[in-house]
Amino acid sequence: MFIDNLALTEALLLFAAAVLTYVGLTAWWAMRKNDVEKVKAAIRGGAGPVGAVGVTAVVLGFWSEMVWPYPSVMGGYNILFNDITVVFGIVMVSFAAVAYLHLRLQYVGVLAFMAGAVTVLYGWTAYGFHYTKEPFDFLLLYLGFGAAGIFSLPATAIVDHYLENVSKSDTLWRTDSSSVSTRRFLGIRAVAKFAGSTTSNDSEASGDGGAPKLAFRMPLYYHVILLAFPLFMALAGFAAWWFLGTTIPGHLTPGQTP
């Protein structure tokens, strides 16, 4: 019996894109507000649904690799769709485990970066060989997920840095504009801006009579990198939705009965 699970695979991509876009936006907003607990909650909250999608994708991908009965002349489609489904599922499961256990995210970022690069390569190759009837839609889908995977590495590195350093120590964010290491990390203009924003209330909030603590304010490039991930993920989700909309009518032909 032939079972075409292409629509289900596209639905899984759409589900994951929606959840990860939301996780990325809520984590960015919490960091913008310097709310450490909400950053952790946003990341861990995505572990459940992302893990469920990831496990399903891995099982479905491996099953399809082995039994999806493509004719030999269409064998390339097994590689094109199912390889990426398995890779996608592995990244999702890895993220879910790391997010739930509060481990460092950047190691999953490295995995996602390589998976994203492979996805872009697959998508561009398929577009060049015209493997699908909707080559541009297919390219948009693969480029969206590929770009999101690539940008996940710097994004997760920033989140790790915030959770491990900025949220626990004000060393890199002190108001002392004469610090060479601070200027090198933030940029002279950013440090000057931070130094000028200090108030007497900050000094009282420190409670130790020392240098006043400065609330974390992300540099512009932090915003760009952190928002690039949900942006490309949303783009990939839109492409998955569009692709799903063209797949379902072809599978559910009017007049057919189960």
Segments making up each domain of the chain, as ranges: 6-167+217-251, 174-215
pLDDT band at 169 (very low <50, low <70, confident <90, very high): low
Give the DSSP letter string of 172-231: GG-S-TT-HHHHHHH-HHHHHHHHHT--HHHHHHH-SSSSPP------HHHHHHHHHHHH
**b or e along 135-157 (b: 16 or more beta carbons within 10 Å of the residue's beta carbon)?**
eebbbbbbbbbbbbbbbbbbbbb
The arithmetic mean of pLDDT across residues 212-227, rounded, is 76
Q: Which of 7-21, 44-58, 206-220 has the lowest mean pLDDT?
A: 206-220
The arithmetic mean of pLDDT across residues 171-193, rounded, is 42
pLDDT band at 200 (very low <50, low <70, confident <90, very high): very low
How far is 57 from 77, CA to CA, in rounded Å? 17
Q: Is the pLDDT score of 56 beyond 90?
A: yes
Res 80: pLDDT: 75
Res 188: pLDDT: 39
Please state which CATH number belongs to domain 6-167+217-251.
1.25.40.600
| Residue found by looking up tokens 């992302």 in the block | 50
Q: Confirm if 138 and 243 have CB atoms less than 8 A apart.
A: yes
Res 168: pLDDT: 64
Which of the two residues, 86 and 204, has the higher pLDDT score?
86
Which one, of 17, 239, 14, lies nearest residue 138 by Cα? 239
Q: Which of 39-48, 134-143, 169-178 has the lowest mean pLDDT?
A: 169-178
Which one, of 6, 4, 36, 2, lies nearest residue 246 by Cα? 6
Q: What is the pLDDT of residues 92-102, one digit of tens each?
A: 999 999 999 99
241-152-108-11 Cα dihedral, nearest 10 degrees: 0
Q: How many CA atoms lie within 13 A of 191 on its CB side?
A: 19
Q: Is the pLDDT score of 202 beyond 60?
A: no
Which of the two residues, 70 and 19, has the higher pLDDT score?
19
Q: Confirm if 89 and 54 have CB atoms less than 8 A apart.
A: yes
Q: What is the pLDDT of residues 35-50, one digit of tens each?
A: 889 999 999 999 999 9
Res 214: pLDDT: 53
Claim: this prediction has a pTM higher than 0.85: no
